[in-house]
Structure 1
Amino acid sequence: MNQTTLNTIRNYVMQASAQWISDFNQGNVQTCINRYLPSATMQVHPFGKFTSIEAIADFWLEFAKSNPSDLVYRNIEIKVLNDRQAVLSANWRMNIASGFISKELWTLAEDGQWYLEEDDFTVLAQHTKPVDDKRTALVLVDLQNDYFSGGRFELDNTDSAAKQASQLLAHFRQKELPVIHMQHLFEETNAAFFSANTVGAEIESSVKPTANEPVIIKHQIDSFIETTLEQTLVELGIDNLVIVGAMAQACVQTLCRSAVNKGYKCQVISDAIAAPKLEYQQHSFTGGQLVAANLLSLSFGGADITDTKGWLQENK
């Protein structure tokens, strides 16, 4: 199958899926039901399997009584199987629930329209009331002792960055908004810093997590690789990330790029980001210069940039 055909099929499936979402959000439940083939099957974890469009209709009509809305698909992937079938997977969230779509099998029918033949999705979280005012999470990246004064890899401005981060942390806690802590642990026994079971790897006291705030362990620069970050964001129904921490040129930069690629919006707090002094060939950079350069890079399609004072004024 040539690339043009692949692109065409992918676009058709994206359009069919987008129309289904639009109908759902407008309350057109029967229209959504009509997009299933008569012999379609739907697996809803943990609620069971529904075979035939009649059983699927019963599920959606009953579910509609809970007034679902604001359905959004994120991190969409489409795999084309042949010229008449393609599989869509994604994360999803709505006003009262969120989860993963493992498989939407879209099939081209004889009438030239695309229909759902198989639908397999998981409900990770359900809410008794809409959570639309809690879709922004503060993500604190690697604010660990080794990056601070006296640590094994001291950065240029971690103390001041943590001071600003602690102000934002206090605001999020007061408003009961989601807070996520990233903690980097190197798996190598001879790691230069952030060795497991050391004081240097612990999160610094001024931004220490409370018992109800998730701490996500990572071993890579990318916070999404082999971690529970994406599942946590899906469970919480998060749309927007407010990012603070370190290091600007590594984990902060990579987190923003990966998050944006997955469909999240990012805001980076410029005075709550730290970096080390570094040299490259004949060039020497201060931590402040590295922060500025990386924020400039992120401002091109990676994140919105603001400072602590500005963010707090806009989000009283």
Structure 2
Amino acid sequence: MSQSIRQSVMQASREWIANFNLGNVQACIERYLPEANMQVSPFGRFDGRDAIGAFWSEFAKSGPTQLVYRNVEIKVLNDKQAILSANWSMNIASGFISKELWTLSDDGQWYLAEDDFSVLTQLAAPLEQHMRTSLVLVDLQNDYFPGGRFPLDNTDEATKQAKTLLTHFREQGLPVIHIQHIFEDENAAFFTDNTPGIEIALSVAPQKSEPLVVKHQVDSFIDTSLEQTLVELGIEKLVIVGAMAQACVQTIARSATNKGYHCEVISDAIAAPTLGYGEHDFSGEQLVAANLLSLSFGGAEAITTAEWLNKNS
């Protein structure tokens, strides 16, 4: 039962989004119950369909479109109610949906009884499509380089390619996000706090204007500011470089894809160590290849630095 309810609510939500993107504001308004309420941060509370309709009609004058929900979660309360939460972005704004309370009416249709969302970013003009792609540099920190506590096989070469992309993104004024891993366990083998090994390599170090996301786990999304940063910037696509291929690179690509982002992993700009499993030994190059193969199945598109620049220049 809960699965069918979840599917029905998802379909109702998709219809609302489709009408919004078509500019059919009246159809969107009619999916609210007459007594519905809507809380919009920072704009206030709107009680009843008429007040909600007035808000959306005024907002429509700014030409909103390209609305997308990501990281959608639906929690079924009972056979007639479910709560949807998500991240959202459109051409002129982005934010979070804390709560859409969908209710099954006597006519067999699902309607919004409550709508609680936040606007994190609102733009005076639509964000150009190329600005919705961010370079994400994952864990290119001193401990992964020769002389560090856990050197990888090809960190120097991978970082050179990452630097080439970083230079391109900076020259074009495109978004750049840096990820830094710091283990909270003081006995960790590497990346322990207050050591030189946690510092990002100087050649790809963040500039003051570039977000730095600090994480304490393999997944860059867990207990970090990454998701909020992506929402605030209106990002749709991640171009991923860094280390390690079999751990943090694999995981950020999987997590981002599952949340609705498109990912490109730069095949010659990621690094891995030599590792053994049972009777088998794998070089860093082999681990990179194996993880790119894994990601090709619904995780990310693999592309070289030169190919990416040729396609995007």
Q: TM-score range by the shorter chain?
A: over 0.9
Residue aligning to 1:25: 21
Q: Distance in 1 between matches of 2:219 and 2:76?
A: 28
Q: Distance in 1 between matches of 2:226 and 2:189?
A: 25
Q: Distance in 2 between matches of 1:195 and 1:127?
A: 40
Residue aligning to 1:144: 141
Residue aligning to 2:204: 207
* Unpaired segments ≥5 residues, structure 1: none
Q: Distance in 2 between matches of 1:82 and 1:237?
A: 34
Q: Distance in 2 between matches of 1:36 and 1:308?
A: 48
2:261 counterpart letter in structure 1 = Y
* Unpaired segments ≥5 residues, structure 2: none
How many residue pairs match? The answer is 312
Residue aligning to 1:52: 48
The alpha carbon displacement at 1:111 in A equals 1.4
1:70 counterpart letter in structure 2 = Q
1:158 counterpart letter in structure 2 = T
Residue aligning to 1:230: 227
* Residue 252 (str. 1) matches residue 270 (str. 2): no
Residue aligning to 2:72: 76
Residue aligning to 1:164: 161
Which SS does the other structure have where 2:52 is aligned? helix
Q: Distance in 1 between matches of 2:30 and 2:160?
A: 55
- What TM-score comes out, normalization by structure 2 length? 0.98
Task: Give a deviation string over 1:223-272, Cα, whole Å, max 9, x none.
Answer: 01111111111111111100000000100011111111111111000000
Match of 1:94 among 90, 94, 99: 90
Residue aligning to 1:241: 238
Q: Distance in 2 between matches of 1:105 and 1:41?
A: 10
Q: Distance in 1 between matches of 2:126 and 2:115?
A: 25
Task: Report % sequence identity.
Answer: 69
The alpha carbon displacement at 1:147 in A equals 0.5
Which SS does the other structure have where 2:209 is aligned? coil
Residue aligning to 1:127: 123
1:63 counterpart letter in structure 2 = F
Q: Distance in 2 between matches of 1:34 and 1:197?
A: 56
Task: Give a deviation string over 1:103-143, Cα, whole Å, max 9, x none.
Answer: 11111111111111000001111111111331111000000
The alpha carbon displacement at 1:198 in A equals 1.8
Which SS does the other structure have where 2:15 is aligned? helix
Query: RMSD in angstroms over aligned alpha carbons?
Result: 0.8
Which SS does the other structure have where 1:311 is aligned? helix
Match of 1:307 among 301, 304, 307: 304
Which SS does the other structure have where 2:83 is aligned? strand
Structure 1, 175-184 or 6-15: larger mean CA deviation? 6-15
The alpha carbon displacement at 1:197 in A equals 2.0
The alpha carbon displacement at 1:9 in A equals 1.1
Task: Give a deviation string over 1:258-309, Cα, whole Å, max 9, x none.
Answer: 1111111110000000001111121111111111111111111111001000
Match of 2:180 among 175, 179, 183: 183
Task: Give a deviation string over 1:19-54, Cα, whole Å, max 9, x none.
Answer: 100000010111111111100000001111100111
Which SS does the other structure have where 1:73 is aligned? strand
* Residue 281 (str. 1) matches residue 240 (str. 2): no
Match of 1:262 among 221, 238, 259: 259
The alpha carbon displacement at 1:205 in A equals 0.8
Which SS does the other structure have where 2:247 is aligned? helix
Which SS does the other structure have where 1:211 is aligned? coil
* Residue 13 (str. 1) matches residue 19 (str. 2): no
Which SS does the other structure have where 2:137 is aligned? strand
Which SS does the other structure have where 2:40 is aligned? strand
Residue aligning to 1:114: 110
